[in-house]
Amino acid sequence: MMALPMAAPHPEPELDPGVLERCRAGDPLAFRAFVVRFERPVFSLLSRVLGRGPHIDDLAQETFIKAHRALPGFEPRGTAKLSTWLYTIATRVAIDAVRRRRVSERLFVQSLDAGEHPGAGASSSESPERDAELRRVRRAIAGALGELPVDQRAAFVLYELHGMSLPEIGDALKIPAATAKTRVFRARQKLQDALAAYREVT
C-alpha cells in the first residue's frame, strides 16, 4: 500500500469566539468580520481549484451565502475547525459549478499564485533571475494541475495548500478517506512527472 505522509499542520488564527457566536445569532456586522477574515483563503482555494476569472467572485459569494445560512448549525466545540468547515463548503461549491458546467472542466490554472486574492502584492526574491525561474517552475506545476480532473485537483489543493487531513478531504468531497489518499497520490505523481519534464528541457 502506498505511503502518504500527513500534511504538516498549517496553524492559523480562527475567528474570535464572541464574533463567531454573534455570527451564529445572525448579527450582520459580525458576519462581515467573518467574511473579511476568510475572504482571502476562500478566493485562494477556489482559484487554485478552478483558475482565475470572473467566475471566482460569483463562487466566493455563493460560498459565503451558504455559510451564512449554515452558521447557526455550526458547533464551535465540535471536532471541525471553522476554517475547515468553510473550505468544505467552498470545495463543494467549486465542484458543483463544474458539474453544472458553469465553469470549464479542464480550466488551465495559470500559476500557483492564482490563489492570491485580487490586489494582493507578490513577493520578490533577491534577484530577477530567481524570480523568473520560480515563475517558470510554478507554470510547469500549474499546467500539470490544470490537466488533472477537478476532483483530483481539489483533493491536492486541500491537502497540500490548505492543510486538511485525508478524512476531512473525504468529508469535503463526499468520498472515503482512502479515495482521497489515492487522488492526492495521483496528483503528486502528475506534478513529479511535469517537473521531471521541465528539468529535461531547461
The CATH number that applies at residue 197 is 1.10.10.10
The CATH number that applies at residue 76 is 1.10.1740.10
**pTM of the predicted structure, to 2 decimals:** 0.75
Domain that holds residue 19: 15-107
Cell of 147: 490537466
Instruction: Specify whether the CB–CB gap between 44 and 117 falls below 8 A.
Output: yes
In tens, the pLDDT along 120-169 reads 444 455 678 887 877 777 777 777 777 788 888 899 999 988 989 999 99
Per-residue pLDDT averaged across 6-22, rounded? 71
Domain count, the chain: 2
